[in-house]
Amino acid sequence: MEDKKKVIFSGIQPSGNLTLGNYLGALKNWVALQDQYDCYYCVVDLHAITVRQEPKDLRARTLEVLAIYIAAGIDPEKNTIFIQSHVPAHSEAAWLLNCSTYMGELSRMTQFKDKSQRVGDSVSAGLFTYPVLMAADILLYNTDLVPVGKDQMQHLEITRDIAQRFNSAYSPTFTIPEAYIPKAGAKIMDLQDPSKKMSKSADNPNGFILIMDPPEVIRRKVSRAVTDSIGIINYTEDQPGVKNLIDILAVIKKLDPIEVAASYKDKGYAELKHDVAEAIVEELSPIQEKVKELLKDKTYLEEIYKKGAEKANYVSRKVLRKMQKKIGFIQ
């Protein structure tokens, strides 16, 4: 009998247009993993509303993210691709897990600290409990591996803690998931402030490259990327802007960043930026074409997310029932 494949769960929020960071840190790895694992790739719209979204934009972006998944190479025949709000078990399990989560541990989450500062007084309770919803997403599928960028590591650790707490308070219920952090591309930095990660909701659009940015915009943003006045290309933390450009080039070209840096030893920043921009354009152009095609065929996209929701509902409902039973709810 064939061995059961290990399970992967991951998702991206339609909280803005997807960036090169989302692509290199998450999506590109999802594609590489799809043959080996039983993968659930979700558009996490419930997460997106932890920060206020314009309904019309949220609708459009949710479909665009789905189209980007497929255009990037995630095969809908091999993977379960779905929209989070179509699977009510996520919200229900999140409530149950909220009751096994401590305020103290949620207060330590750096994403909450960063984002709540940006939002100011109107910070939602949802933003605070975001990691619990993420734990529900992962645990409902008995996930073994979660491919994420480095920024999500803390959320994965709290997921493991919540799962272990639930398992020991009741009885073994959840698989304890592991993070799958890519060796390269795990943290792409903001082009204008390389001390911050590249983020789709950053204030300065010159800091991020969008997957759907046209070639001339990509070239312009890369040419304006902040570097330094050292003038020599090295791969070091002391030159975070240059290091970030080398990282981007290395991940796209599947090369070692130190070797990339060495090959630019006698070259200038302008040449490095030119090559980085061209590599990004070459990588993203075919994806952009496919996304545009896919968005013209809403019926096809609907077929995919409906089929995905059917499978995800079936699998997650079983785990939710198990949780409810163990907690002591009458079935």
- Residue ranges of the annotated binding site for ATP are 13-15, 21-22, 149-151, 188, 197-201
Angle at 193 between CA 191 and CA 197, to 5 degrees: 75
Closer residue to ligand AQP in complex, CB, 185/308: 185
> Within 10 Å of residue 202's Cβ, how many Cβ atoms?
20
Q: By CB under 6 A, is residue 57 in contact with ligand AQP?
A: no
Q: By CB under 6 A, is residue 148 in contact with ligand AQP?
A: yes
> Within 10 Å of residue 126's Cβ, how many Cβ atoms?
15
Q: For the CB of residue 211, give the shortest distance to ligand AQP in the complex, in Å.
A: 11
Report the distance separating Cα 57 and Cα 14, nearest Å. Answer: 9
Q: Find, among 46, 36, 48, 47, the residue nearest to 7 by Cα.
A: 36
Question: Is 183 known to be catalytic?
Answer: no
Binding-site size, ligand AQP (CB under 6 A): 21
Angle at 104 between CA 101 and CA 89, to 5 degrees: 25
Q: At 209, give phi and psi (nearest 5°).
A: -110, 130
Report the distance separating Cα 164 and Cα 158, nearest Å. Answer: 10
Report the distance separating Cα 14 and Cα 22, nearest Å. Answer: 11
Report the distance separating Cα 150 and Cα 186, nearest Å. Answer: 5
Which of residues 143, 152, 227, 244 is near ligand AQP by CB under 6 A? 152
Question: Is 253 known to be catalytic?
Answer: no
Residue in the block written with tokens 């996520």:
90
Q: By CB under 6 A, is residue 243 in contact with ligand AQP?
A: no
Which of residues 7, 12, 140, 222 is near ligand AQP by CB under 6 A? 12
Residues 19-38 that bind ligand AQP (CB under 6 A): 19, 21-22, 25-26
Closer residue to ligand AQP in complex, CB, 38/247: 247
Q: For the CB of residue 170, give the shortest distance to ligand AQP in the complex, in Å.
A: 29
| DSSP state at residue 81 | E
Site string for ligand AQP, 193-232 (x = CB under 6 A): ----xxxxx-------------------------------
Question: Is 196 known to be catalytic?
Answer: no
Interface contacts to ligand AQP, rule CB under 6 A: 12-13, 15-16, 19, 21-22, 25-26, 148-149, 151-152, 186-188, 197-201
Catalytic residues: 115, 197, 200
